[in-house]
Structures are given as structure tokens and as C-alpha cells.
Structure 1
Amino acid sequence: MCLAIPALLVERLSDDQGLIDLGGIRKSVSLALVPEAVVGDYVIVHVGHAIGLLDPEEAQHTLAIFAELERSADNTDAAVARGRLVPAP
């Protein structure tokens, strides 16, 4: 199973590299597969490579789903810590 995530391209660097932002985390990735990407575009990132462009609305929708999953996990962790849930073996 592969996982690719949307990230905002914040800077083009030399040698087909770009700086992406994902929730405040910035990382350099290869843009060799999406040479048309410009600052402000959302790119799909998989293992250090931007593999495609993504519509901004779709990117925001996907990122909102990820944020909801994170909140849900945080709530579950808090419930386990308070003894309200027993973690699965």
C-alpha cells in the first residue's frame, strides 16, 4: 500500500528540487516529475518526490480529513490515558 499526501509548494530550489509545507513541516522534495509546478501549487508527495499536481480545493478537503483523523486519534489517546478506554491488545 502506498501513501501520497498533498503539500503546498512554497519555494522552487535548484536541480529540480522544491520546498514543500505540510502543516508547518517543511521538506525538500524532487520536482522532476512535475516540472510545471509553481509556488502556490499543491503537489502530491510520495517518498520525497512530487508525483502530480492537485486541485487546491481537493487538497484542502484531503488535508481537512487528515486533521479530523488526527483530532480523533488525540481524543482516543486521551480517553485511554484517563482509563475510559482499554487499548486493543
Structure 2
Amino acid sequence: MCLAIPGQIQRIEEDELRTGTVSFAGVTKEVCLALVPEASVGDYVIVHVGFAISKVDEQAAQKSLSLIEQLSSCQTDESPSS
């Protein structure tokens, strides 16, 4: 399964590919911003495999990040039966 994760743009390089630094709850990654030319520093974008694919408002981004955090903290002690 593939996930697209929201992150906040910290810096933009107006280079050939229009790349930028995006923060995902404190973890920063270099992302291609070419598909969202309207995005600017401070905006939230949805990122999939290194490409920002759309802008999203801060409230929706925070809600998604909260849900992802809840999912990652859910662990079961059950193991599959043999």
C-alpha cells in the first residue's frame, strides 16, 4: 500500500525541477514541487514518492498527521495462528 503524507514547505529552490525542503512532523526531506507551482513556503502539500501532488490546508494536514500518528501507535499483541 502506498501513502501520501502531508508536510509543510520550509524552503523552495527555483531550480529546473522546482524542489524544496518539506517538513513531516520534524523530519525534513527534499521534494519535487513541479506539480504544485502555486505552492509557497509555509504551505502544506501532500507528498507521494518524493513528489508534492497537491496543496492542502493546515487543518486537513494536521488532522491527517494526527491520524497517522494514532495508527502508528496502534500495535496488537496478537500473532497469527499457525
Alignment TM-score, normalising by the size of structure 2: 0.85
Partner residue in 2 for 1:67: 69
Deviant stretches of 4+, over 2 Å: none
Match of 2:40 among 38, 41, 45: 38
Q: Deviations over 1:1-37 (max 9, x none)?
A: 5421111111112310010011221110100001111
Partner residue in 2 for 1:3: 3
Partner residue in 1 for 2:20: 18
User: Which blocks of at least 5 consecutive residues in structure 1 are unaligned?
Assistant: 77-84
Q: Looking at secondary structure, tell me which structure has more strand per residue.
A: 2
User: Which blocks of at least 5 consecutive residues in structure 2 are unaligned?
Assistant: none
Q: Looking at secondary structure, tell me which structure has more helix per residue.
A: 1
Secondary structure of the corresponding residue to residue 67 of structure 1: helix
| Root-mean-square deviation (Å) | 1.5
Match of 1:47 among 43, 46, 49: 49
Alignment TM-score, normalising by the size of structure 1: 0.79
In structure 2, what is the Cα distance between the partners aligned to 1:31 and 1:7?
Answer: 12
Larger RCO (alpha carbons 8 Å, 6+ apart): 2
